[in-house]
Amino acid sequence: MVPRINGVEAKSIFTKSGLPGSDWVINPYNGCLFGCMYCYAAQIARWKHPDEEWGSYLDVKTNAPELLKEELEKLEKKLKSKDFGSVFFSSVTDPYVGMEPKYRLTRKCLEVLADFGYEGSIAIQTKSPLVMEDIDVLKRLKKVSVGFTITSLDDKVSQFLEVKAPLISQRLGALKKLHDAGISTYAFVGPILPHFLTDKKILKTLLDTLQQAGVNEVWFEHINLSSKIKERLYNYLGKEAPELLPLFDSTNTQEYRDHLDHYINQEINSRGMKLGLGKVIHHRSLPKKK
C-alpha cells in the first residue's frame, strides 16, 4: 500500500506534554509509517483520520520549524528564561519516520532549538538509525539524549510487531555509534512483551547487550492493553499468531506486573544501571488474578 502523505499547517508545535518525564512535546509529523501493532499513538493521533489504517498516512507539518521559533521566542519573553523544562520528540509519530530525509522537519526543529540556545533537556526517541545523520546538530544542543525503542533482541520479533520499523539489530548498532560519538543515549523497553518472565535469561541478555552498546539508562513500560489498542493488536495476533493470545492475556494482571517490576529492578540495580523515572511505567491498575 502506498502511504498517503499530506502537507499540513500546524497551529502549534511546542505543546504541553501529558507523558511521564516530559514537560513539552514536539511532533513534526502526525501519524507514523512504521505501523507498530501495539502503538498507543494510533488511537491518540487518528482523530483526524478516523477511517484510515494506522501506518498508511502521514501529516507533514510543513511550518513546524518556523512555528517552533515563534513559540520559543514568545515563551522566552513570558518566562524570562531559555529553559521551559524537558522536551520530548515525539508522542504521536516517530521523529525519524521514513519521510524525514525528504522533509528534514525534525532536523530543522532541532536546529531551531540549538540556534535559540535552549537550556532545558531534550529527549529524542526513535526506532530509526536516521537520527545519526543529525549528530552535528545534536552536538550543538546543551542537554540532549537519544533513546531507541528496544522491545526484543530478535529481528524476527521486531519485524512481526513493528512491521515497517528498522530492525532491532540496526537500532542497537545506532545506539553504539551515538554513544561512541559522545551523545548521551538510553533505551526504551516498551511495551514489555510477554517473554521476560517465561525465560529469565531474556532480560539478562537484553541488559547485557544494552550495556555493551554503551547504554546506562533504561526505561521500561508495561504493555497498554486498553480496549482500542487491544482490539487492533489482538485482531492482528488472531490472524497471524493466535497461539500468542493467551500469553499476552497472562501478562494483564497486577500480580504478573508486580513480579516483573521486582525482577527488572533487581537486574537493573545489580548492574549499576539507571531505571528511567525510577520505576517501571504502568498505564492503569489491573484486576487481581483469580
Query: If binding means CB under 6 A, how many residues of this protein chain bind ligand SF4?
Result: 11
Read off φ and ψ for residue 63, nearest 5 degrees.
-95, 10
- Applying CB under 6 A, does 192 fall inside the site for ligand SF4? no
Amino acid at the residue 216: N
- Applying CB under 6 A, does 41 fall inside the site for ligand SF4? yes
Closer residue to ligand SF4 in complex, CB, 91/251: 91
Closer residue to ligand SF4 in complex, CB, 84/152: 152
The answer to whether 123 and 86 have CB atoms below 8 angstroms apart is yes
Of 30-38, 102-110, 133-141, 193-201, which part binds ligand SF4 (CB under 6 A)?
A: 30-38
- Applying CB under 6 A, does 171 fall inside the site for ligand SF4? no
Among 10, 13, 25, 32, binds ligand SF4 (CB under 6 A): 32
- Applying CB under 6 A, does 36 fall inside the site for ligand SF4? yes
What is the distance between the alpha carbons of residues 36 and 40, in angstroms, rounded to a whole number? 9
Question: Using alpha carbons only, what angle is made at residue 134 by residues 274 and 88, rounded to the nearest 5 degrees?
Answer: 45
Question: Using alpha carbons only, what angle is made at residue 114 by residues 20 and 80, rounded to the nearest 5 degrees?
Answer: 70
- What is the arrangement of strands in the sheet containing 57-61, beginning at the earlier edge strand? 4-8, 57-61, 29-30
Of 2-10, 32-40, 62-70, 132-140, which part binds ligand SF4 (CB under 6 A)?
A: 32-40
- For ligand SF4, the binding residues (CB under 6 A) are 32, 34-36, 39, 41, 93-94, 127, 162, 165
